[in-house]
Structure 1
Amino acid sequence: MMDRSWMHITDRLKSREYAKGVKDFITFARSHAIGCDKIRCPCRLCSNNYWLPISMIERHLFIKGIDPNYTAWIFHGDEEALSVSDDYDLQESELGDEYIDDIDVMLEDIRAGKFGNVASTESFHARVSTPVKTRKRGRGLGKSTSFDQLRKHGKISLKIKDGETAPCCEKCTMFTTRVTWILKHHADLSHPNWHDVPNHEKDKLVTRVRADFILDWSKKNHRSTVMKTLWKRFNAIRYDLHKIYMQYNTHEEALANGTEMVNPQRGRSYVQDGQARASRQKQQTNHTAGRTSFVRLLEIRYETEPNLIDFFKDVRWSKKKGKFVTPMTEEHYNLMVAKLDQLEPENRTKEAAAEIFREVLGHRPGYVRGLGEMVMPKSSKDNTEEWITKLAAAAEKHEKDTQYYKSLLDELRGDVRVLLEKQAKYDNFFSTYMSKRQSHGESHREADQGAA
């Protein structure tokens, strides 16, 4: 086993030993990934969760650093004694790669048990007129390895923050992958979309998810996390199957080749993909986060992103182009910064930035603009109660101020009363004095006249 002490070197850009270690790793990984142009990225941020081009991985290892805990390179050629099936290995690449799904197994399940009109004794592949293109797998165990290793010790814990509907911990990808596996093996994929799945079937799928993960079912956001993930992954699997269906020239040809995944009544649902693509092209506030949820990104970058305004720029800034992804995004960011600069330095807190963030992006019922669908907005009831609490606090403050100023007024009135009394005494004294002086002056004048 080659020396891997270089993985703990912090001065990556200046260390020759680190550069040599990266070169050795790339050579080792490339030798075990023959025929594949992408491998798992072992940098600190990706943590072997994403498949990236080898050249990009080399840059990641220098800029972000390799995960120092990844000493056994099991995803890049090292052997591991434990042999675990990776039937549900799902790669979620931020570059938009296709999912690596076990379509063969899924179609076999559909062919054999889900659709009565399809003969179960005839091979699906023997009847396919157009070959299905699949991407080769890289060597190494799939992410299901870590799931099985943890699951044998009991249910797997998840970290789901209040107000969010997605795990923000490092097990978020494992959760999504497991839900996908459950859907592939236990869901009736003949339904055109998740909303058409009967409630009793949904309940069975939810029960399977709850059997694998520790969830607080009394919390609304935990329930929403499971239901939303099932919904998104069900529709994603259906889309993957639809891509296979679209390789046939006609609907009749697809039916003749062993599957009834789509019938004429359901055909209209597949038009939505083109409509969704056209809608995405019209968006004016796109982001660069890829498939990673904002909830997970917020957790990863919590210590490096001072506030939501900086996070808004980070996930909407194209490093390749050196600018914002759209002019509207840049306009929103500049407006946020301008509003934040208007505050005093001591008032530029995270809470103030979050308030400006919501003010600029606006409000839409049931959705927090700028943070994706995995963040739950405050309900109108909560907003009303919060507003009532603020009003009550303001009223209490004003009542205290009123009592304070009233006491000041009473004190001032007392002082004025005393002052008026003193003024009256002074006026009386002055009047008496002037009278005496006047009478004394007249007596002197009379005396002077008599003497003359």
Structure 2
Amino acid sequence: MAPRKKGRGKATGAMLEKFQKKGQIAVQVPAGARGPIAKNERLFKERVTYLVRHFIDVHYKSWSEVPKQDKEEIYARILGDFELDWHRHEDQACIKARMAYSFRSIKFHLHKLYKSYATKEEARAHPPEEVAMPIWEKCCDLWETEAYKIEEDKNMIEFYKRTRTRANSSWWVTPACEELYERMKTLYADRDPTQTSREIAEEVFRKVMGSKCGYMRGLGNSVIPIPSPSSRSYLVTQLTQEVERYKSKLKISEEKYDTLQNNVTTLMFQLASYHEKIDLLWSERNSQENSQDETLP
């Protein structure tokens, strides 16, 4: 096996401990995204990778096969470390997407390490430090199955098909890419002759490029794709938005009711004050009439 290159090594969480002394760490996830931006982005990614590496069994074939209980334990740890709202769609999608990515990345590097040995016996005898021997053996069992090897070869072929070829130090632009570009230009010019609206440009881009399951082409993994009207996630999103609208209307109605109730209470106090004044004036008038009657012969 070739000697490893010297690098910065695995994250130990020293920076996280420094920030945790001040409380939870702020993380910003924009609307419509499932990835953090700007401040503490790298710290968030390193922490999630650390938790997945040390608290999730990596012998499962895919992230979807990891038990729900194991995932929920990591969710709780992340929510305890960072200022994220689990009930916000973007924050929840950010946590789930990053954990899945970290799991795949760890499995990729472990498989790469496994293949670096000359024989499978040698690979089995040298598990990584962070992986227990029973887990490493289960991983090796998975990688040595015929079904996994066939799938690996298939994925490799698809990768090379998608890889762009180079010639004369420049990238070739395929006819398909030119066609997509011309379609976007035409649609954008039809819908916005001034070509100044960013929202229309994004709508045209999404319409032309389309989307795969859970992925928006051309916009990266951090963008939450717009679900199709027939999908369950679309219905959930629509219902969630309706609930939020009803909550907003209910809040406005409650505020109006409180204002009316305060106004009615104020009017009742004023009315009671007027009644007291009227009773007092009436009593004084009766007293004056009685005194005049007594003075008459």
TM-score calculated relative to the size of structure 1: 0.42
Q: CA deviation at 1:145?
A: 5.3
Residue number in structure 1 paired with 2:216? 368
> Is this contact kept in 2: 1:336–1:360, CA < 8 A?
yes
Give the aligned residue type for 1:353.
A
Q: 1:194 aligns with which of 63, 82, 92?
A: 63
Residue number in structure 2 paired with 1:329? 177
Give the aligned residue type for 1:183.
V
Residue number in structure 1 paired with 2:197? 349
Q: CA deviation at 1:281?
A: 2.5
CA distance in 2: counterparts of 1:190 and 1:365, whole angstroms: 25
> Is this contact kept in 2: 1:157–1:214, CA < 8 A?
yes
CA distance in 2: counterparts of 1:262 and 1:374, whole angstroms: 29
1:382 to 1:145, Cα distance in 2 relative to 1, 3 A:
same
- Superposition map of 1:221-370 within 5 A: 221-257=90-126, 259=133, 260-268=137-145, 269=148, 272-283=151-162, 321=169, 326-342=174-190, 345-346=193-194, 348-364=196-212, 366-370=214-218
CA distance in 1: counterparts of 2:8 and 2:206, whole angstroms: 43
* Structure showing greater relative contact order (alpha-carbon pairs closer than 8 Å, 6 or more residues apart): 2
- Superposition map of 1:53-452 within 5 A: 130=1, 133-137=3-7, 146-257=15-126, 259=133, 260-268=137-145, 269=148, 272-283=151-162, 321=169, 326-342=174-190, 345-346=193-194, 348-364=196-212, 366-379=214-227, 380=229, 381=234
> Is this contact kept in 2: 1:158–1:214, CA < 8 A?
yes
Q: CA deviation at 1:147?
A: 3.4
> Is this contact kept in 1: 2:11–2:50, CA < 8 A?
no
Give the aligned residue type for 2:217.
R
Q: CA deviation at 1:162?
A: 2.2
Q: Partner of 2:206: helix, strand, or coil? A: helix
> Is this contact kept in 2: 1:194–1:234, CA < 8 A?
yes
Q: CA deviation at 1:166?
A: 1.0
CA distance in 2: counterparts of 1:196 and 1:330, whole angstroms: 40
What are the Cα deviations for residues 60-118 of structure 1, in whole angstroms up to 9, with x where unaligned?
xxxxxxxxxxxxxxxxxxxxxxxxxxxxxxxxxxxxxxxxxxxxxxxxxxxxxxxxxxx
> Is this contact kept in 2: 1:166–1:374, CA < 8 A?
yes
| Structure 1 unmatched runs, 5+ | 1-129, 287-317, 386-452
> Is this contact kept in 1: 2:58–2:139, CA < 8 A?
no
* Count, aligned residues: 222
Q: CA deviation at 1:237?
A: 0.8
1:209 to 1:327, Cα distance in 2 relative to 1, 3 A:
farther
What are the Cα deviations for residues 126-145 of structure 1, in whole angstroms up to 9, with x where unaligned?
xxxx4x63211369x97955
CA distance in 2: counterparts of 1:323 and 1:250, whole angstroms: 38
Residue number in structure 2 paired with 1:25? none
Q: Partner of 1:262: helix, strand, or coil? A: helix
What are the Cα deviations for residues 215-245 of structure 1, in whole angstroms up to 9, with x where unaligned?
1111223222111211111121122111221
TM-score calculated relative to the size of structure 2: 0.62
- Aligned Cα root-mean-square deviation (Å): 3.5
> Is this contact kept in 1: 2:211–2:225, CA < 8 A?
no
* Higher alpha-carbon deviation: 365-374 or 181-190: 365-374
1:354 to 1:180, Cα distance in 2 relative to 1, 3 A:
same
Residue number in structure 2 paired with 1:81? none
| Structure 2 unmatched runs, 5+ | 128-132, 239-297
Q: CA deviation at 1:277?
A: 3.2
Query: Among the aligned pairs, what percent are the same residue?
Result: 27
Give the aligned residue type for 2:4.
T
Q: CA deviation at 1:322?
A: 5.2
> Is this contact kept in 1: 2:192–2:200, CA < 8 A?
no
Whichever structure has more helix as a proportion of its residues is 2
| CA radius of gyration, larger in | 1
